[in-house]
Structure 1
Amino acid sequence: MGRSKWGKQGLHLRVIEGKGQSTMQVHTIDLHFQGLPEIIAAYLVESDGELALVETGPGSTLPALLEGIGRLGFQPKDVKKVLVTHIHLDHSGAAGWWAQQGVTVYVHPRGAPHLIDPEKLISSAQRIYGDRMHTLWGEILPAPAERVVALQDGDKVKLGRRDHFIALDTPGHARHHLAYALGDGCFTGDVAGMKLPRCPYLSVTAAPPQFDPVAYDESLERLHSMGFARLYLTHFGEVTDVARHLSQYSLRVHQVHECVQALRDQGLRGDALREAFTAAEHEVAVKSGAGIAEWHLFESANNAAMCADGIALYCEKAGR
């Protein structure tokens, strides 16, 4: 990507109207993960009376999601389609619950088997989170196979009379990652990073095991070329300065990759590397204007030490 390129807490919505098109509403629901505001969002999208949900959040936030849907004047049974960007638990941990209610769940082909049988996903997370597993992620239910639809790049999911979500294969954070274009907006999952409202710091989502800066660059370039007017970040909320955000985030992806490479070149591994990378990222955040409270929110949703592991794994595979 060339270097020259390029909410509010709780519930809010955007109304999109176009000549000859239906009116569409995008409602942002703050899931208050671990009681914290504005770090995980789900999006309820309404078109011609039909409802779709983009991201479910983890099982631990399902009560907050259902409450948010209710506050908007709807019931869970009104939701007919759920689209998840990828199968990491903060994005799709509650997908099985929705599928068991009879809702169709759309996901990347690589992710579909893990929604149907989440045992490997659960075991992997259990090794990482131990006795915090249930507190963080809640119940993770298997999705009936007949309720799961795998989307290829470019596939469309109709909403209302005229609107369509378009699946965009966007690796970089994960190989099983889709973004969803809808009108002039795009639901980006983790491929456009984490940005808190009112804070300029951009946190690179790089949890193991599939961080890939080359794929990230290609995905960000693709999003840029599509000329979106707004991005809907799962972490967190709407971004309207799209070109600037994507350009800055591309730089940040390269910065964290180069940082971990440099630390490894110094011989740092394991905890020493995690601590050094966390300190480096904290310094970037502070210089960007993030305070103590903001840093805590970033760490709660996108832990720097875990990102260090993800980037280091890429470096190891690349022979660096």
Structure 2
Amino acid sequence: MRNDSDFPLMAAPLQGFTESPFRHFHAEIYGTGAMNVTYFSPFLRLEKGDVRPRDMREISTPLNGNHQLIPQIIFKNPEEFTLLVDKIKSAGHTSIDLNMGCPFVPQVRKGRGAGMLSHPDVIEEIGNLMAEMPDITFSLKMRLGTASPREWQPLVDIINRMPLEHVTIHPRTASQQYGGELHTDEFSEFSSALIHPVIFNGDITTPSMIDSLRERHPSIKGIMAGRGLLMRPSLFNEWTENREWPREERIEKLLQLHNAIFNHYRLTLTGGDAQVLSKIKPMWEYFGADFDRKAVKKILKANSLTNYTTAISSLTR
């Protein structure tokens, strides 16, 4: 068992996947409370001039009671930033993560997410506002740029003046979305120029990769995993225990996690089979990584809860 409490493990936010049921049951089944794991909510944003009610419910539900949660926000100007922060404070949270990395094109075009990286004047305004909020702990998640992996360069001084607990860097550009090479040389240069602790995020899919990252980038202060954690929910356990779980052990726990989330949706959603299936089937985009493709395809084609549970049962035969 590793004794590395100064190297935090962070569960990245993914819209539609890492909502409160996933976080709650992942924390419960994998025991992440003892592993210095922090979870980040999918970003809160404004809709028709106010925070979406479902976003506020997401950060206020009792399901959050068994894990450390930091809400994340996405915004395009100081006005949106201030309104989001005030709403989150009213819900009792004192830590907030700023999303300057979302590559979703409609958000980027509006200057939100990674689109914010093209507006250093706005980032500086946000930093000035943050300095006036000593009761809130802020962090930042970003990419290297929108089109070029060197767009971070004119932002370094601005980010260094911001009161940040850490900066999480995904070493791709927004135009790359989630594919293509990681710009690790640019990551090293950028992280060296920052005065804040740096967290590495991107393509961490096995426990050994965490050790490799620390060897290549010894200055990083933690890692954040998103899609890798969904594909391999035991990722943090395996690294903490310093052993790679056999496939059978990984599958047993993953199915426990799936069943807990599935049963939660069956009990709480009132829209019938279609609503439950619309929530649970997308999880197999990642959960299916350790299973036969044909078996996963049957799960994705299921059009009723009966067919779905039959397809799930076939996974263990």
Same fold by TM-score, threshold 0.5 exceeded?
A: no
* TM-score of the superposed pair, with normalisation by structure 1: 0.32
Q: Which has the higher strand share?
A: 1
* TM-score of the superposed pair, with normalisation by structure 2: 0.32
Q: Which has the higher helix share?
A: 2
**Larger of the two Rg values belongs to structure:** 2
